[in-house]
Structure 1
Amino acid sequence: METTKTTRWRARYWVYLMLFLLTTINYLDRVVLSVGAGPLAADLHVNKVQLGYLFSSFLWGYALFLIPVGLLVDRFGSRSVTAISMTVWSLATMVTGAATSAMGVLVSRIVMGAGEASCYPSAARIIRDWAPSRERGVAMTALNSGAYFGPALGALALSWLISIAGWRWSFAICGGVGFFWIAAWLFFFKAPENTRWISEDERETILRERETAEQTGSDSVSIGLTGLLCERTMWAQMLTQGCNVYTQYLFLTWLPNYLQTERGMTLLGSGTAMAIPYLGSIVISMALGFLSDSTLNPAAVEKGQRRRLVGAVMSAGAVIVFIPMISNVWVVLGLITVALGAASAGIALNVALLGDLLRTRRDIGRAVALQFMGGNVFGFFAPIVTGYIVQATGHFAAAIIAAGIIFLVGAMSAWFLTWKPIGARAAGMVSQHAVAGRRMS
């Protein structure tokens, strides 16, 4: 009897698995260009600077559509928007394999990025609808882990696939994988109220713990987009996020090419080597996330003390400045693992810090959107700047050292620019009015 009950209570974990697969496929489609950059560049006569623009191009569409797609999710729900968006980015990935010029690759990658913009807004809505409050950390961990498992899987599988079938087939096959996810999504996934494959006990638990009560106090006030942009802490949050994302996208786009050209690895060898840091970063990120939750009491969270760990993690990531001085490739991979783990944990902890500091809870969606916009602006520049540096110097040394310095800038931002709560004045005014109202009554 207990076994049956436990099994039923875990039925919603299939939704968490689907979220994990969603981000896995998302990042698999992102990394296919990185793994196949060598043969693609040779076939289409693409230099390092042009390659940097191609690596960055998906972020153009992603950043442009991030907020509009979030509004569509709020308006039409996550089920249909996610399916349509994934159809768009899967088709764009397949079309990339048919490109005959760098411009063709550029356009298809921009469209792919526009489709992928729905991933995190949709997932946030799904987690809100499906995950009981005590499990939202588990659901978010499942979602974010796919963003690092995807590149690891891509590095291993795609390097082999490209070596036997060519880079064009790798795009076609990666794009096709998304349609299997879409079919399963549309067939099985509905709102928990209308899903038949969960027990009534589980359904009641999900609905009971979902936030449906009218928000009061500071939760009922909003300072809006303009108000958020007037907060110094909000800008610091965007800067910190950007410094994490810069390093994340540097390695996501250029790591295979770096291992092949700078470290003399074969296509297959670089794929295997690339998987190691991404798998290791998942372990580091999860451990640091647990450390953050276990060492902070509610009072420390309220004061924004999470900033200390954010800064410490990003400072540790700056060890990549030593990479150009090291000849042993395994030590290099170890330092890259630390950097990717720091970037992953830094991104997640910085989002948590934003929630700690925000006093007007109705602004959480706008605030997170701004935070991710800041991150993607930096991410947009990472592949391009790296391309110019490598083209000018013939090496990756200066580009990697620059990423380490940017890590330190982000750490300084977290430590010294995020002391003030966001929206504290508006929340305080609401509290004063509430107190005055109680006195009058």
Structure 2
Amino acid sequence: MTTGESAIGTRSRHTIPSRYVFFFLVFLMYVISYGDRAALSIALPTMGKEFSLTPVQMGWVSSSFLWSYFLLNLPSTIVLDMVGGRLIGSLAVGLWSFAMLLGGMVQNISQFLLTRVLLGVGEAPTFGVGATVVRNWALPKERGSVMTVLLTGMQLGLAGGTIAGAYLITLFGWRFEFMALGCIGILWAIVWWLVYRNPTEKTVTARRAPVSIPEIRSLFRSSSFLGILAVQCTQNYLNFLVMSWMPLYLIHELHIDTTGTGTRTALCYLVAAFGAVIIGRIFEHVVFRRGIYPPRRRYIVATCLAGAATIGLLPHFHTMAPILVVLSVSLACLIAANGANTALLTDLVEDGQKIGTITGVTLTCSNSLGLLAPILTGYIVFYTGSFDMAWYMCAAALVCAALLSVLLVRSPIKMDRRGG
């Protein structure tokens, strides 16, 4: 019996539907998280003018929350495994939402950067919380679909944050946008504390201990973990590139205003979100039609990554319709790949109580690459005057990651206290 099945089995039958409430709240957490991230990308053109920022400086500002996010992914998820998702979820969302409120009150770019660093501190355990909830409350056969649906919250958050932000900026200014989104996050943190319960809450302090350094080091001896990590790194790079630069890219290519950019960016995210759910469901049905065998999920990952690599076609189009189609298709495949890859990780990890920490390890590594995406793209645009090289690099990396997933991901992932 898996950890997820065990957790559900220990509850009485009438409480089982509550897990869908937990999934919905995690979905909303992703919506809020990425809505807050989108707030900066759509506000960046206005902020760039107010603070006289160059493309290179905009790239650094876009990546600023990732500095602390990257450093705290692993420590925060180790604590998550020790104390559970209820406390960490509430503290994390409450802290980053407070940072959003502060961001709307700053008077210079230095103060703004400090609020972004604080936001990164709060967001650090976010995906660990989501992975923990899925591992504890979703059945093995549904984890891929559940995770893909939850991850569409990222795209819906980006869509809602972008279009709402565009109109809020036009009507009230970018500071009001930040403060409004901060209030929404604080409300979620209160609801999560009141509603969510850890499945092993009564015995958590008695049987959970921090993961040791040798155990973490032993992960890198697993070919399956390395294959999953390669996918996480490449998809994260493209994710942060698009999240940070898509509004400015559309302005650059299509010469449209802030509200027009926000509407079209939101459209791409919405189409991608629904497309990802359909793609994930179809591929899971095909791959698992003869029974559940978790390593087969790598074929879903690889196929979706190949679809996401169509981002490399963007330099060949300069009108609205084909650009929006390529962006939507690529993002839909990217989300589906991310959902399948995350489900693959939760399937193959033998000790489900350590899924938060293992997710933290993957995020620490992938975000070390992801934080370079806004910065490197800023330099590419500054020196070449276009985004072409950025798209070509992403396409090549995604194809390589697809191959690594097929070749490496085969066996369970174990953590050994001896480090190997």
Measured against aligned partners, the alpha-carbon deviations of 1:317-364 in whole angstroms (never above 9, x if no partner) come to 222222122122111011001111121111121223334555666764
What is the aligned partner in structure 2 of residue 51 from structure 1? 58
What is the aligned partner in structure 1 of residue 385 from structure 2? 394
Which protein, 1 or 2, shows the higher relative CO under an 8 Å CA cutoff with sep ≥ 6? 2
Structure 1 window deviating more from structure 2 (119-128 vs 78-87): it is 119-128
- Scaled by the length of structure 1, what TM-score is found? 0.81
Q: Partners of 1:166 and 1:151 in 2: how far apart? A: 19
Residues 239 and 165 of structure 1: is their aligned pair in 2 closer, same or farther, counting only changes over 3 Å?
Answer: same
What is the aligned partner in structure 2 of residue 64 from structure 1? 71
Q: Partners of 1:131 and 1:352 in 2: how far apart? A: 10
User: Are 1:241 and 1:350, in contact at CA under 8 Å, matched by a contact in 2?
Assistant: yes
Structure 1 window deviating more from structure 2 (290-299 vs 112-121): it is 290-299
What is the aligned partner in structure 2 of residue 383 from structure 1? 374
Q: Does 1:42 align with 2:32?
A: no
User: Are 1:38 and 1:257, in contact at CA under 8 Å, matched by a contact in 2?
Assistant: yes
Q: Does 1:344 align with 2:351?
A: no
User: Are 2:66 and 2:371, in contact at CA under 8 Å, matched by a contact in 1?
Assistant: yes
User: Are 1:244 and 1:407, in contact at CA under 8 Å, matched by a contact in 2?
Assistant: yes
Q: Partners of 1:365 and 1:386 in 2: how far apart? A: 31
User: Are 1:247 and 1:340, in contact at CA under 8 Å, matched by a contact in 2?
Assistant: no
Residues 160 and 378 of structure 1: is their aligned pair in 2 closer, same or farther, counting only changes over 3 Å?
Answer: same
TM-fit CA distance, 1:81: 2.1
What is the aligned partner in structure 1 of residue 98 from structure 2? 91
User: Are 2:39 and 2:177, in contact at CA under 8 Å, matched by a contact in 1?
Assistant: yes
Picking from 88, 91, 99, the partner of 1:81 is: 88
Q: Report the residue type matching 2:125 in the other structure.
A: S
Residues 404 and 77 of structure 1: is their aligned pair in 2 closer, same or farther, counting only changes over 3 Å?
Answer: same
Residues 352 and 80 of structure 1: is their aligned pair in 2 closer, same or farther, counting only changes over 3 Å?
Answer: closer
User: Are 1:285 and 1:342, in contact at CA under 8 Å, matched by a contact in 2?
Assistant: yes
Q: Does 1:368 align with 2:359?
A: yes
TM-fit CA distance, 1:36: 0.4
Once the two structures are superposed, the pairs formed by residues 157-168 of structure 1 within 5 Å of their partners are: 157-168=164-175
Residues 251 and 131 of structure 1: is their aligned pair in 2 closer, same or farther, counting only changes over 3 Å?
Answer: same
Residues 129 and 106 of structure 1: is their aligned pair in 2 closer, same or farther, counting only changes over 3 Å?
Answer: same
Q: Secondary structure at the match of 2:283?
A: helix
Percent of aligned positions that are identical: 28
What is the aligned partner in structure 1 of residue 304 from structure 2? 313
Measured against aligned partners, the alpha-carbon deviations of 1:79-99 in whole angstroms (never above 9, x if no partner) come to 222222222111111212222
Measured against aligned partners, the alpha-carbon deviations of 1:103-144 in whole angstroms (never above 9, x if no partner) come to 222221111011011222223334455556666556534432
Q: Secondary structure at the match of 1:372?
A: helix
Q: Does 1:227 align with 2:234?
A: no
Instruction: Tell me which structure has the larger Cα radius of gyration.
Output: 1
Once the two structures are superposed, the pairs formed by residues 21-36 of structure 1 within 5 Å of their partners are: 21-36=28-43
User: Are 1:57 and 1:106, in contact at CA under 8 Å, matched by a contact in 2?
Assistant: yes
Q: Report the residue type matching 1:68 in the other structure.
A: P
User: Are 2:68 and 2:120, in contact at CA under 8 Å, matched by a contact in 1?
Assistant: yes
Q: Partners of 1:90 and 1:69 in 2: how far apart? A: 17
Measured against aligned partners, the alpha-carbon deviations of 1:6-39 in whole angstroms (never above 9, x if no partner) come to 9987454333322221111111111100000001
Q: Does 1:258 align with 2:249?
A: yes
Residues 170 and 403 of structure 1: is their aligned pair in 2 closer, same or farther, counting only changes over 3 Å?
Answer: same
Q: Partners of 2:136 and 2:358 in 1: how far apart? A: 20
Q: Secondary structure at the match of 1:304?
A: helix
Residues 133 and 283 of structure 1: is their aligned pair in 2 closer, same or farther, counting only changes over 3 Å?
Answer: same
What is the aligned partner in structure 2 of residue 421 from structure 1? 411
Q: Partners of 1:250 and 1:397 in 2: how far apart? A: 13
Structure 1 window deviating more from structure 2 (244-253 vs 304-313): it is 304-313
Q: Secondary structure at the match of 2:254?
A: coil
Q: Partners of 1:17 and 1:420 in 2: how far apart? A: 31
Q: Partners of 1:93 and 1:154 in 2: how far apart? A: 13
Measured against aligned partners, the alpha-carbon deviations of 1:199-225 in whole angstroms (never above 9, x if no partner) come to xxxxxxxx9xxxxxx9xxxxxxx9821
Measured against aligned partners, the alpha-carbon deviations of 1:402-423 in whole angstroms (never above 9, x if no partner) come to 222222222222233x155255
TM-fit CA distance, 1:76: 2.6
Structure 1 window deviating more from structure 2 (379-388 vs 280-289): it is 280-289
Residues 9 and 78 of structure 1: is their aligned pair in 2 closer, same or farther, counting only changes over 3 Å?
Answer: closer
RMSD (Å), alpha carbons: 3.0
User: Are 1:152 and 1:279, in contact at CA under 8 Å, matched by a contact in 2?
Assistant: yes
Measured against aligned partners, the alpha-carbon deviations of 1:354-382 in whole angstroms (never above 9, x if no partner) come to 34555666764444333222322221111
What is the aligned partner in structure 2 of residue 181 from structure 1? 188
Picking from 119, 123, 127, the partner of 1:120 is: 127
Q: Report the residue type matching 1:257 in the other structure.
A: L
Measured against aligned partners, the alpha-carbon deviations of 1:22-59 in whole angstroms (never above 9, x if no partner) come to 11111111110000000101101111111111111111
Residues 361 and 13 of structure 1: is their aligned pair in 2 closer, same or farther, counting only changes over 3 Å?
Answer: closer
Picking from 10, 13, 17, the partner of 2:24 is: 17
What is the aligned partner in structure 2 of residue 104 from structure 1? 111
Q: Partners of 2:233 and 2:319 in 1: how far apart? A: 30
Q: Does 1:325 align with 2:316?
A: yes
- Scaled by the length of structure 2, what TM-score is found? 0.85
Picking from 271, 285, 288, the partner of 1:294 is: 285
Q: Report the residue type matching 2:255 in the other structure.
A: G
Q: Report the residue type matching 1:287 in the other structure.
A: I
What is the aligned partner in structure 2 of residue 432 from structure 1? none
Residue ranges of structure 2 left out of the alignment (5+ in a row): 1-12, 208-212
Q: Partners of 2:39 and 2:23 in 1: how far apart? A: 25
Residues 69 and 94 of structure 1: is their aligned pair in 2 closer, same or farther, counting only changes over 3 Å?
Answer: same
Q: Partners of 1:120 and 1:41 in 2: how far apart? A: 30
